[in-house]
Structure 1
Amino acid sequence: MTTTTLSNALRSIISKAPQSARRLLIKGGTIVSMDAEVGNFAKGDLLIEGDKIVAIGPDISAEGAEIIDAGNMIVMPGMIDTHRHAWEGQLRRINPNSSTLEDYCNGTHFSFAKHYRPADMYVGNLLTALGCIDAGITTIIDNSHNARSAEHSDAAVEALLDAGIRAVHAPGAPLAGDWDKDNWPRDLGRLKAKYFNGDQPLVTLAMMSQIDREIWAEARKLELPIVTEFFGRTMASELDALFQDGLLGTDNIFNHCTDLPDATWEMLREAGVRVNVCPRSDAHYALEDGVCSYQSALNHGMKPGLSVDNESSYSGDLFMEMRVAFYLQRSMAQSCRHHGHSHAPAPVMMQELLSAATIDGAAVAGLADKVGSLTVGKQADIVMIRTDDINLYPSNNALGSIVHAAQPGNIDTVIIGGQMRKRFGRIVNLDMAALEAATEESRKHLFAETGYIDDPFAETFSLPAA
């Protein structure tokens, strides 16, 4: 199947009619800006012209602007997921009791991934991107470690473009099965020329790779960020030589960073490596000591982004990541105090977790000058949360409502680059029946190829014996 045929077959799922550039005035909302200079407003307005925020404050007048009533709503920046394997979208919760990293790989890389067609990459990425938008996530770093061919990578990029999400797409080598090794990482140059020539502003290119000097050098020739899964003492032992040779830098993005020695954290900080942490993933898959590295990053003067990682075991929303990080940190801090440790950390506050999900995540993605806060001149990536829903009403504290109580169903409106992507609680221009049909066809293919027997009550993931 060619990419052109793929696009013609699946792109009717989302209407492609572009929304005209217009002035939008969000009126009377509780504004959480995440910008200290802008501040917050118990009741304020926000004006969008084209793809940018042009004014924030009380009682803004804008003749001819379309009014969006934000009464009884929180208006906040779109959230940023700094590490998501979007291609796995149709494998949601296929392995919910997975308890090790090997279990995760058995239910993804070592089974279904080997049989992905370009169409399956498109469906997985589209499902994930739309699910992110639905959950108020407006930007993702798409860790696409199933780039089996040029056509697979094209399909993944086209799904992100069609969904209208902001993304950093990082294709990477598959972990198992047959794939086009001869064109990796050369295909990055082709991808950059085809899709990332400045014609579209929402999706940018990176590369996903484990530590490999030669492959990293290829990415740097193309001036691409390098995304790496990084955790544990064994991987940490590889870092000293890289650091000494000047091969760590601000173009590196490290995922997890679980159970690293202090000396490794100091190298990461000094080199300017961007890091994200995975509150649920580390615990779910027993990664090293199972404790996410949020506090370790803070201890070494770094502000990490938050990461969902994948949806093969659990949900895809950042509200839950904020909560898990909050309670893990509070639990560990109190345990230290209770046992008389002299350097017990202070309890984390809601603002810090919301920063990790917004402006700090934007910095990890290399987009802090564009998104992550409600700031005049930045891109209009905006989320509006209904506070008169029964689970949030009465909203006595806006930050508390976001970090401790909100869920995707409370999100009324999502705007990305000035374009309406979710309105009145529903994804805009989505043919849900067509999405379901494409997803079921993909699942049927993948299940048939692996011999997987669909069981909605399965305790563990398994395939028939060969």
Structure 2
Amino acid sequence: MPAPDRQLLQPLASVSHKILIRGATVISMDGNVGNLPKGDILIADGVIAAIGLRLDADGAEVIDAADMIAIPGMVDTHRHSWEGQLRRINPNAESLEHYCNATHFSFAKYYRPQDIYVGNLLTALGCIDAGITTVIDNSHNSRTAAHSDAAVEALLDTGIRAVHAAGAPVAGDWDTAHWPGNLARLQAKYFNDPDSLVTLAMMAQLEPDQWTVARELGIPIVTEFFGGGMAAELEGLHEQGMLGSDNIFNHCTCLPESGWNILREAGVRVNVCPRSDAHYGIEDGVNAWQKAFEHGIRPGLSVDNETSYSGDMFMEMRVAFYLQRAMDHTRRHHGQHHVAAPSDAFRLLEAATIDGAAVAGLEQRIGSLSPGKQADLVLIRTGDLNIYPVNNAIGTVVHAAERSNIDTVIIGGRLRKRGGVVLGVDQAKLRAAIDESCMHLFSAAGYKPDLFEASFAPIHGS
């Protein structure tokens, strides 16, 4: 198979020696730093050096942020990045099976390495554009070693911070001989630099033999975990000592009390999916954000995929906020007295930043604007018509801000979006590569595109 074209982006610029962000409204997500109505952030060699008032700008590139809000870069703790070119192909999917019909059971089987590259590239660029600076890439279509290489290289080329969780395909023929040995090969080829923005993980189900391989390599294990159907296996795994803080569980819907207690005791990291759980009717369709909190677990938020809806974390925070509020009010209306406290905007922003960083195992490096941490941050314009006036900064970010309001994105001290534009992208070449990938996948699967299709029908023979 031909190698992917890695010339769709300009080479990444070097990390700036010194950047001074001047006069921003700072939401730090760090209790020791606090929030500043007007403050400066000094970045030196990719690290936040200081946060305060009237910091010395000697020799620094100065960004005037007087009409902007600074927040930590947001973290998407579960995204199937390879599906990037399948955006909104199935907007009315009613079940997990409907999702699979438009991904695993159809197009996934025909992905070439260049299609994986294009999908991951598009997803990562979309994340950067939307202020998501870190993503846990759930790559469950690693059909060959070349497919895995293409996925990792796309992440590296965009300059996003990522945890690449390579995983076995769900359907179709694939090179079974390279799994799980492919992980050791990937680690040796791409992951020798401790300062790399991209790190390695395994994506696997409740498979202790597979988990052992990951633990021998010292990498996290990502699992699609639907609590109602899989909870019965937790007790045995816990008794065998197979659960730990290197486990990352997605979804966790319908998990009984005993299951939550096991996850807490074992230190399992959890992320929840407000939109996909509801959209695809995963078990009861109710995301586990509130349940996790009630059991002493701070979950991250995840977009999951873009095959049915948008890829931004702003919408994920809002859906989580309003679903929790709706359930809370419903219980009160029907006479229940012991109900959860109403959600608030700050808690949702925590889930999208510092809690997400903890799920990714990166809370010591990112997730808050703290001196000594990596400079992953977002600047949001406050003068735009949909935002001005800002009467509450946290409420503005969670309830009103959009991708279009993001002026600047910095990852590891490197500017990746400036003046509202993602840097280094040749739009014409990128779109041509996306179009070619879509044409190949659609033709190979026998799919005839319909811009007004109400329901994605299973493809004959897929």
**TM, length-normalised to structure 2:** 0.98
1:25 equivalent in alignment to 2:20: yes
Identical positions, percent: 63
Q: Please say if residues 228 and 253 of structure 2, whose CA atoms lie closer than 8 Å, have aligned partners that are also in contact.
A: no
1:456 equivalent in alignment to 2:439: no
Q: Please say if residues 121 and 155 of structure 1, whose CA atoms lie closer than 8 Å, have aligned partners that are also in contact.
A: yes
- What is the rounded CA distance, in whole Å, between the counterparts of 2:143 and 2:228 in structure 1? 30
SS for the counterpart of 1:280 is helix
- What is the rounded CA distance, in whole Å, between the counterparts of 1:92 and 1:225 in structure 2? 28
Partner residue in 1 for 2:253: 258
Task: For residues 152-175 of structure 1, give each alpha carbon's deviation from its aligned partner in whole angstroms, at most 9, with x where no partner exists.
Answer: 000000000001000000010100
Partner residue in 2 for 1:235: 230
1:72 equivalent in alignment to 2:67: yes
Partner residue in 1 for 2:310: 315
Partner residue in 1 for 2:216: 221
Give the letter for the 1:301 counterpart. Answer: G
Partner residue in 1 for 2:96: 101
SS for the counterpart of 1:110 is coil
Q: 2:202 aligns with which of 197, 202, 207?
A: 207
Go from structure 1 to structure 2 and tell me whether the alpha carbon gap of 1:338 and 1:17 turns closer, same or farther (over 3 Å shift).
closer
Partner residue in 2 for 1:291: 286
- What is the rounded CA distance, in whole Å, between the counterparts of 2:32 and 2:142 in structure 1? 42
- What is the rounded CA distance, in whole Å, between the counterparts of 1:454 and 1:436 in structure 2? 17
Give the letter for the 2:455 counterpart. Answer: T
By how many angstroms is 1:422 displaced?
0.3
Task: For residues 8-50 of structure 1, give each alpha carbon's deviation from its aligned partner in whole angstroms, at most 9, with x where no partner exists.
Answer: xx22211115325321000011000000000000000000011
Aligned length, in residue pairs: 461
Q: Please say if residues 44 and 59 of structure 1, whose CA atoms lie closer than 8 Å, have aligned partners that are also in contact.
A: yes
Q: Which piece of structure 1 moves more, 13-22 or 340-349?
A: 13-22
Task: For residues 367-390 of structure 1, give each alpha carbon's deviation from its aligned partner in whole angstroms, at most 9, with x where no partner exists.
Answer: 000000000000000100001011
Q: 1:174 aligns with which of 144, 165, 169?
A: 169
Partner residue in 2 for 1:148: 143
Partner residue in 2 for 1:50: 45
Q: Which piece of structure 1 moves more, 10-19 or 313-322?
A: 10-19
Q: Please say if residues 139 and 167 of structure 1, whose CA atoms lie closer than 8 Å, have aligned partners that are also in contact.
A: yes
Give the letter for the 2:261 counterpart. Answer: E
Partner residue in 2 for 1:338: 333
Go from structure 1 to structure 2 and tell me whether the alpha carbon gap of 1:454 and 1:247 turns closer, same or farther (over 3 Å shift).
same
By how many angstroms is 1:462 displaced?
2.0
Aligned structure 1 segments of 4 or more residues deviating by more than 4 angstroms: none
Give the letter for the 2:384 counterpart. Answer: D
Give the letter for the 2:209 counterpart. Answer: E
- What is the rounded CA distance, in whole Å, between the counterparts of 1:38 and 1:20 in structure 2? 24
SS for the counterpart of 2:23 is strand
- What is the rounded CA distance, in whole Å, between the counterparts of 1:43 and 1:223 in structure 2? 42
Q: Please say if residues 33 and 375 of structure 1, whose CA atoms lie closer than 8 Å, have aligned partners that are also in contact.
A: yes
Q: Please say if residues 15 and 413 of structure 2, whose CA atoms lie closer than 8 Å, have aligned partners that are also in contact.
A: no
Give the letter for the 2:427 counterpart. Answer: M
Q: Please say if residues 303 and 360 of structure 1, whose CA atoms lie closer than 8 Å, have aligned partners that are also in contact.
A: yes
Task: For residues 386-421 of structure 1, give each alpha carbon's deviation from its aligned partner in whole angstroms, at most 9, with x where no partner exists.
Answer: 010110011111101100001100000000000000
Q: Please say if residues 136 and 408 of structure 1, whose CA atoms lie closer than 8 Å, have aligned partners that are also in contact.
A: yes
- What is the rounded CA distance, in whole Å, between the counterparts of 1:234 and 1:24 in structure 2? 50
Partner residue in 2 for 1:272: 267
Partner residue in 1 for 2:32: 37
By how many angstroms is 1:341 displaced?
1.6
Give the letter for the 1:271 counterpart. Answer: A
Q: Which piece of structure 1 moves more, 158-167 or 338-347?
A: 338-347
- What is the rounded CA distance, in whole Å, between the counterparts of 2:250 and 2:458 in structure 1? 29
Partner residue in 2 for 1:356: 351
**TM, length-normalised to structure 1:** 0.98
- What is the rounded CA distance, in whole Å, between the counterparts of 1:206 and 1:423 in structure 2? 31
Partner residue in 2 for 1:445: 440
- What is the rounded CA distance, in whole Å, between the counterparts of 1:164 and 1:66 in structure 2? 20
Gaps of 5+ in 2: none
1:328 equivalent in alignment to 2:314: no
By how many angstroms is 1:313 displaced?
0.2
Partner residue in 2 for 1:160: 155
By how many angstroms is 1:465 displaced?
3.1
Q: Please say if residues 382 and 390 of structure 2, whose CA atoms lie closer than 8 Å, have aligned partners that are also in contact.
A: yes
SS for the counterpart of 1:13 is coil
By how many angstroms is 1:338 displaced?
2.1
Q: Please say if residues 451 and 463 of structure 1, whose CA atoms lie closer than 8 Å, have aligned partners that are also in contact.
A: no
- What is the rounded CA distance, in whole Å, between the counterparts of 2:437 and 2:39 in structure 1? 45
What is the RMSD of the two structures over their aligned residues, measured on CA atoms?
1.0
Task: For residues 259-310 of structure 1, give each alpha carbon's deviation from its aligned partner in whole angstroms, at most 9, with x where no partner exists.
Answer: 1001000000000000000000000000000000011001101100000000
Q: Please say if residues 132 and 138 of structure 1, whose CA atoms lie closer than 8 Å, have aligned partners that are also in contact.
A: yes
- What is the rounded CA distance, in whole Å, between the counterparts of 1:273 and 1:463 in structure 2? 36
Q: Please say if residues 453 and 463 of structure 1, whose CA atoms lie closer than 8 Å, have aligned partners that are also in contact.
A: no
By how many angstroms is 1:349 displaced?
1.0
Partner residue in 2 for 1:139: 134
SS for the counterpart of 2:430 is helix
Give the letter for the 1:141 counterpart. Answer: I
By how many angstroms is 1:200 displaced?
5.1
- What is the rounded CA distance, in whole Å, between the counterparts of 1:298 and 1:322 in structure 2? 15
